[in-house]
Amino acid sequence: MNIVLIGYRGTGKSAVARVLAERTGREVVSTDARIVEVAGRSIPEIVDKHGWDYFRNIESRVVDEVAARDAIIIDAGGGVVIRDRNTEALRKNGKLFWLVANVDTIAKRIGADDQRPSLTGEKSFIEEIEEVLIQRLPLYRAAAHYSIETDTKTIESVAQNIISILKI
C-alpha cells in the first residue's frame, strides 16, 4: 500500500514526504519531479510551450506509473485531483492524505516559488490561491481517505499522525 499526499502547493506535502521516508524507509516519488524527467523540461516550460492540457496528460501517465508501484510515498502535484482517473488510480493501492492549510499559510510558504506557472492567468497571488482552492476543495475532500491540517503543526507531527493512522 502506498502513502499518497495530496493538497494544494505549500501545504507541506514534500516536507512531510521526506520525514515519512526517513521514518519508514520508503522511497518518495514526486509526481511533479517525474513529469519534469519525462518531459525533459521544467513545469513552467511545459505549460508555456504546450499548455495545461498537455501537462495534465503527462501527469495522468505519471500517476498511472507510480500508482502501480507498492509501498512508496507519493508526493502528488496539487492539481492531481482535477482528473478523476488520477484519483481512482491513486486510491487503488494507496491511502490518500489531504494536507490542508489556509490561504495565508500557503502564501507565506510558496511566495518565492517560481517553478509553478500561474493557474488562473491575471489574478493576484492571493486571489489565485483563493480561486483555485475554491475549485479544488471538493475534489480534495472527495479523493482523501484522511485530512490533516498543517497550519499549526510541525512537519514531524504531521508525519507522525500519518504513521499512527496507518499503524506502520
pLDDT (tens place) for every residue of the chain, 168 residues total = 999 999 999 999 999 999 999 999 999 999 999 999 999 999 999 999 999 999 999 999 999 999 999 999 999 999 999 999 999 999 999 999 999 999 999 999 988 555 555 555 567 778 889 999 999 999 999 999 999 999 999 999 999 999 999 998
Question: For residue 56, what are the domain limits?
Answer: 2-160
Domain membership of residue 117 (yes or no) is: yes
- pLDDT of 144 reads 98
- pLDDT of 31 reads 98
Identify the CATH number of the domain in which residue 56 sits. 3.40.50.300
Domain membership of residue 165 (yes or no) is: no
Domain membership of residue 53 (yes or no) is: yes
Task: Match 513529469 to its residue by C-alpha cell.
Answer: 35
Domain membership of residue 132 (yes or no) is: yes
Domain membership of residue 167 (yes or no) is: no
Domain membership of residue 109 (yes or no) is: yes
Domain membership of residue 11 (yes or no) is: yes
CB 163, CB 20: distance < 8 Å = yes
Domain membership of residue 64 (yes or no) is: yes
Q: How many domains does the chain have?
A: 1
Cα–Cα nearest to 11, from 85, 142, 99:
99
Residues in the chain: 168
Q: DSSP strand E in 70-130: where?
A: 73-75, 94-100
- pLDDT of 120 reads 54
